[in-house]
């Protein structure tokens, strides 16, 4: 009987859908915003509905490591990521939200994430290397999940700093067995920025063996174009805020991809969980 119980339990674990959350913000680690609240409560809700989750965000320098009890995961750290022909050490940290029985993994690097703010300096200027920070974050998450040996059925991206993940999953990482059957969902928020990312982003992405035909949107890498690109490489799209950039919203409606319209707080977890189920069966 014990053997049968263990066998059935193992089947139950194996059948759980795996959802990877890649978020720009999660409370309580940063000041509360609508995006940060979704980053915090959506993974918990999805886990409570029977799915297995992993959650990642950048380890911005204004996150209080002592108060939030972050610690380095030595077995996952130590890799170097090459960006624009330069080596950048990848450091992985983790913290637990005990009330949710949820761990959050943090992508860290001294050069990119030690400054005491998120995407702007104290004088409100947009960081000139935000393009490389996006690259490092996207590749850092995907490399770490490879080390974990955890094949996600669904990857759900939140916030523009995660907007390169769909590109990488469909190109440089697309033939990796871990990601070959992964479905990509991207949520869209009211997180516009008026600046343009470095014009060198196109060339830096090309160095990652991504074909020029896949990089059209990055020739003029402003907010609108990087979000259009994320939609192009995603399988499903979620309107995550009541109001999003009008040009992006118009583009989403032309993609032919399934779109989940904005949901109110009372029903959004159930709605998104059902939306995942449209994509999570591997084929």
pLDDT at residue 13, rounded to an integer: 47
Pairwise CA distance, residues 232 & 215, whole Å: 11
Contact 163, 226 (CB under 8 A): yes
pLDDT for 280 equals: 61
Instruction: Print pLDDT tens along the chain (283 aa).
Output: 444 444 444 444 457 899 999 999 999 999 999 999 999 999 999 999 999 999 999 999 999 999 999 999 999 999 999 999 999 999 999 999 999 999 999 999 999 999 999 999 999 999 999 999 999 999 999 999 999 999 999 999 999 999 999 999 999 999 999 999 999 999 999 999 999 999 999 999 999 989 999 999 999 999 999 999 999 999 999 999 999 999 999 999 999 999 999 999 999 999 999 999 998 654 4
Overall number of domains in the chain: 1
- Residue 4: inside a domain, yes or no? no
Q: How far is CA 281 from CA 8, 15, 278, in A?
A: 20, 10, 7
* DSSP per residue, the chain: -HHHHHHHHHHHHHHS-EEEEEES--TTTS---HHHHHHHHHHHHHHHTT-EEEEEEE--TTS-HHHHT-EE-TTT---EEEETTEEEE-EEEEEEEGGGTEEEEEEE-HHHH-SSSSSB-TT-PBPTTHHHHHHHHHHHHHHHHHHHT---SEEEEESGGGTTHHHHHHTTTTTSTTTTT-EEEEEE-S---SSB--TTHHHHHHTTT--GGG-GGGGS-BHHHHHHHHHHH-SEEEE-SSS--HHHHHHHHHS---EE----TTTHHHHHHHHHHTT-S--
Domain-located, residue 2: no
Residue 38 belongs to some domain of the structure? yes
Specify the pLDDT at position 14.
54
Has residue 196 been placed in a domain? yes
Domain of 218, CATH number, reads 3.40.50.2000
> Whole-model pTM?
0.93
Output the pLDDT for position 124: 94
User: For 69-78, which contacts have Cβ atoms below 8 Å and span 24 or more sequence positions?
Assistant: 69/95, 69/96, 70/94, 70/95, 70/106, 71/95, 73/105, 75/147, 76/144, 76/147, 76/148
In a domain, 1, yes or no: no
pLDDT score recorded for residue 242: 95
Asked if residue 283 is part of any domain, the answer here is no
In a domain, residue 55? The reply is yes
Q: 221 lies in a domain?
A: yes
The domain in which residue 62 lies consists of 18-277
């Amino acid at each position: 009987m014990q053997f049968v119980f263990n066998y059935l339990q193992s089947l139950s674990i194996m059948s759980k859908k795996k959802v990877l959350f890649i978020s720009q913000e999660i409370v309580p680690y940063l000041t509360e915003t609508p995006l940060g609240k979704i980053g915090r409560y959506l993974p918990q809700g999805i886990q409570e509905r029977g799915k297995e989750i992993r959650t990642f965000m950048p380890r911005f320098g204004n996150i209080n490591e002592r108060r939030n009890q972050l610690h380095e995961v030595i077995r996952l750290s130590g890799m170097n990521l090459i960006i624009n022909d330069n080596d950048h050490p990848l450091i992985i940290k983790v913290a637990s939200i005990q009330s949710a029985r949820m761990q959050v993994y943090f992508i860290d690097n001294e050069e990119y994430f030690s400054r005491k703010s998120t995407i702007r300096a104290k004088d409100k200027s947009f960081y000139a290397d935000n393009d490389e920070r996006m690259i490092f974050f996207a590749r850092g998450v995907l490399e770490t999940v490879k080390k974990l040996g955890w094949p996600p059925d669904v990857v759900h991206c939140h916030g523009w700093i995660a907007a390169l993940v769909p590109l990488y999953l469909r190109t440089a990482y697309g033939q990796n067995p871990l990601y070959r059957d992964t479905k990509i969902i991207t949520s869209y928020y009211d997180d516009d920025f008026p600046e343009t990312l470095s014009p060198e982003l196109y060339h830096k992405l090309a160095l990652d063996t991504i074909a020029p035909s896949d990089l059209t949107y990055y020739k003029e890498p402003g907010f609108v174009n990087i979000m259009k690109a994320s939609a192009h490489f995603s399988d499903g799209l979620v309107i995550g805020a009541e109001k999003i950039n009008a040009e992006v919203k118009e583009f989403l409606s032309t993609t032919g991809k399934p779109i989940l319209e904005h949901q109110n707080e009372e029903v959004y977890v159930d709605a998104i969980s059902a939306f995942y189920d449209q994509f999570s069966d591997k084929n």
